[in-house]
Structure 1
Amino acid sequence: MDHSLLPILVASARGIFPKDDGAFHVVPPLPDGRYAVVCFTGCAYVCASESFDRLASLGCDGFGGALRPQLLLHLAGPQGRVHEIDVTLAALGQGRDPYALPPELGDSRHPRVAYARSQRRDVCVHGDERGLITLAKGLAGRDEISIETPEVAFGKGGGRSLLRDVLAAWPEGQPLFAAVSPGNARSLRAFLAAGFRPVASEVLIERSSG
């Protein structure tokens, strides 16, 4: 099931962004029940079962306030979990070579794959000697990619090459997203070099029932 945030994310991948007036918007939780905060330039979306007034009282706004620690901890509850704040990256498929996608792998037990399956749905794994990628339905139902390259391949451009091949095979004009930690500079450089662009920031929140 897609989420009301999906068309906003898709538009951002095409260079169309929400109004940068400092506003924040409250939308329903994600289909799997998790909360999330997605921040664009001057605008934020809070996916949660919370009132606008309560979030405003905690300092929520579209100029960074939606990511205040006290607000995120409030959303998580006493036993919840706030995930890492990631950069949201996006690129459009080129559709010029459907055979460029690396072969699909079998039942991979790689930790990257296990993590993808714990966070996303419809996960497919592809890869070759350059590394592996996962393609899945991620936040709000968007198409999402993650990548892992072996240590022996660091600094050799394999990750960038993999990402470029995926975009070459991805349907023309169809957005593909990634969530990358700002501190993971090696991965961030690879995505940027392959043609991905930052469109937002995001954080997932596991809400406690207590």
Structure 2
Amino acid sequence: MATLRDLLDAAAAGVFPPADGGTTVVAQPSPRDAGVLSFTAHSVIVTDEDPEWVRETLRGTDCDALAATLNPRFLTALLDRTGRRAETVDAVLVAAPLPGVPPLALREIEDAAHPRIAYARGRRDDVRAWTAEDGVLVLGRGVAGRLEVSVEVAEGARRRGLGRLLVTAARQLATEPLWAQIAPGNARSMRAFQAAGYRPVGAEALLLPPRDGARGRPGQRKMPVCPSE
């Protein structure tokens, strides 16, 4: 059976799950990584919970099967079941590495107090960060060990193309496919990443581990996941 990393590597190469309206349940690659990934007409649910519970819960919905796994009510049921906390639903983009020298001067830093770096270290492993004038670039290994990028641009330096230069530089620092998670409403970032050659491949909702180690109880809630029309 394919692992989550198998599915991600295939998607990075342009090979996606079948667009059949189905749902695939895969085991968590680590205790940290859980959530829902949605590709075109196919979802992947990453959890160590009973796959039959997932399928039963989805079968009990009145939702369009193509949207049910990212519907807030299903995500709430999954959160209740696992005791996890919600992240946002993000658009997911990927880009191949680029040859050449980054298009702007970068200086690697190890400032653990920087908010962007601290945020990345809470969600990724092997985090590295670089600064440029008015910008920060961070790389780290996130979901299933994939290489992920995030950037930050100073407010006064926006609308000058610095974000596009930073995410282009990230591709030149990478030696493997590079992934980005972007809130769909962040149109400025979406434009910058796409202008730098990143292509949308799907959406995902990551579920953070509980702060206190608490878990939901199996069978604790059985609720309709979507409202009736």
Measured in 1, the distance between the counterparts of 2:87 and 2:177 equals: 24
Mind listing any 5+ residue stretches in structure 1 that lack a counterpart? Answer: none
In the other structure, the counterpart of 2:117 is 113
The higher radius of gyration belongs to 2
Structure 2 gap segments, 5+ residues each = 217-229
User: Deviation string for 1:33-67 (max 9, x for gaps)?
Assistant: 44211111111111112333322232268612111
Report the Cα distance in structure 2 between the residues aligned to 1:101 and 1:195, rounded to whole angstroms.
Answer: 20
C-alpha distance in structure 2 between counterparts of 1:130 and 1:14, whole Å: 33
Map 1:21-32 → 2, pairs under 5 A: 21-32=20-31
* SS of alignment partner, residue 200 of structure 1: strand
CA distance in 1 between counterparts of 2:173 and 2:65 reads 36
The question of whether the paired residues in 1 share the 8 Å contact of 2:105 and 2:132 is answered with no
Provide the rounded CA distance (Å) in 1 between the counterparts of 2:189 and 2:142.
18
CA RMSD of aligned residues (A): 2.2
Kindly report structure 1 stretches of 4+ aligned residues shifted beyond 6 Å: 98-101
**Which one of 64, 80, 85 corresponds to residue 84 of structure 2?**
80
Q: Which 10-residue stretch deviates more, 19-28 or 96-105?
A: 96-105
Residue equivalent to 2:186: 184
Map 1:28-177 onto structure 2 (within 5 A): 28-59=27-58, 63-77=66-80, 80-97=84-101, 102-171=106-175, 174-177=176-179
Q: Could you tell me which residue of structure 1 aligns to residue 215 of structure 2? A: 209
Contact 1:37 1:66 in 2 (8 A): yes
SS at match of 1:140: helix
- Cα distance change of structure 1 residues 67 and 189 upon mapping to structure 2, 3 Å threshold: same
- The corresponding residue for 1:7 is 6
| Distance 1:165-1:133 versus aligned 2 partners, 3 A rule | same
Distance change (3 Å), C-alpha of 1:50 and 1:106 = closer
Distance in 1 (CA, whole Å) between partners of 2:127 and 2:187 is 25
Give the TM-score, by structure 1 length: 0.89
CA gap 1:36/1:101 in 2 versus in 1, 3 angstroms: farther
Per the alignment, residue 199 of structure 2 pairs with: 197
What is the CA–CA distance in structure 1 between the aligned matches of 2:163 and 2:103, rounded to whole Å?
18
Q: In 1, distance between residues paired with 2:31 and 2:20?
A: 30
Distance in 2, matches of 1:175 and 1:34, equals 19
Supply the AA of the counterpart residue of 1:186: R
| Shift in Å, 1:83 | 0.8
Task: Work out whether residues 39 and 202 of structure 1, in 8 Å CA contact, stay in contact via their aligned partners in 2.
Answer: yes
CA positional deviation for 1:16: 1.2
Matched letter for residue 119 of structure 1: R
The answer to which of 140-149 and 122-131 deviates more is 122-131
In the alignment, is the contact (CA less than 8 A) between 1:101 and 1:166 conserved in 2? no
TM-score computed with the length of structure 2 as normaliser: 0.82
- Amino-acid identity (%): 36
